[in-house]
Structure 1
Amino acid sequence: MVIGLLTIVSIPTIIGTSEAVSEQRKQNDQAKRSEKFNVAAACDVNHVRAKEEVDGRFVVLRDGKVTVYLSYPGDSFFLYLDHAPGGSERKSGHPFCGYYFQYPGADFEGLVSTISDDPPMLNWIFIDRDTRELKYGNRTQSLPNIAGPWNWTEDEKWLTLEDQEAFVAVEEEEGIWAVYYDKEGDLSGLPEKGKILDVQLERKLLCGVESKRIRV
């Protein structure tokens, strides 16, 4: 009888501990998903020039589009530039600096990025349903398009959309690469001109600390 009573008394303690652990794990997950990060493209191709222009290059936002930009020796960190077509003038873009955020009115997480530092402004990252381009804009602009679910791979290193790593870089003009979404993997709906490279989009945490699972 005493043993049975002790068992019954201990049940609330066990339940309370389990709930606390679950809540702590949830808070840890939410904290990780709100960590700001940059994004860099990664590719594995034999074409030397294409690989040099895309692999390891950071993603920036410009003219409503998500673009892979070249970096140059001597440039400040987080400043990624490319040559304008037909000349030596450089065009700048705003480096992607974002995090995961619950998309309003949906049961999935979206992806947001700053689009300017002064004043600070955030936009949603989404896929244009018609062109397959990665773009950024306000919620109204993102609504008719594919705004999520955004996530990461099991190792928390690479971006995924709709549980896929289906991104490609398209050379729209010489030296200018834009990021597209090739969901079906057959390049359908993508621009017919220019080179197309399969790319992965790597999370680069701003604090420089690798994302790790937190054990509770």
Structure 2
Amino acid sequence: MVKQVRAARTRQALVRAAAEVFAADGYAMASLPSISRRAGVSAGALHFHFASKDFLAREVEDAAADLVQKMAGEARSSSGTVLESLVGTTCRLLVAMAADPVVRAGFRLGSDPSRKNGPGVLAWWRTWVHERVAEAREAGELADDVSPEGAAAAIAAATVGFEVLGGADRDWLCEERAAQFWAFVLPRLAAFPQQAMATVTGAGGVR
């Protein structure tokens, strides 16, 4: 049992260290020696848990996907409308990108051209946003002249763009930036702008 606990902690430390390195340096520049050093474990221990950098990157992407899916589920269950869940989830996501290297690395790996295994959490995020916008259309929450496809593309692109900008300036990754984005977008997007804007509490985030 003690060995199993130690092994689980080592694996978690490696995933965390790998996420920090991937988020900072990208997949191509990240090295297994730098990851093992950051995790405080030997190269042998790293290879015991992960046969290659690719397997380690997949683990980081899976962990990021789990965190983002949980975040989206919590926002949806606490929201009164679909658009409110979109606002809440994007605000939480930006905060998580700033605070959690696993989430940040998951998105960076998904857009890294040196990766060959698909966009991972990035693809899930695009699909989730598209599904929520389509659901908002069915619920009558979108303005009649709004294209669900166009709205979904704009929202997904903006949130991923925040992550890219946040790599150079962490101020982009906060609830205030998300609130500013939604304060600009919601009046155009929502069928009932005043009701939708009640979700955004000025420059401080969302309720």
| TM-score normalised by the chain length of structure 1 | 0.28
Structure with the higher strand share, 1 or 2: 1
| TM-score normalised by the chain length of structure 2 | 0.28
The structure with the largest alpha-carbon Rg is: 1
Structure with the higher helix share, 1 or 2: 2
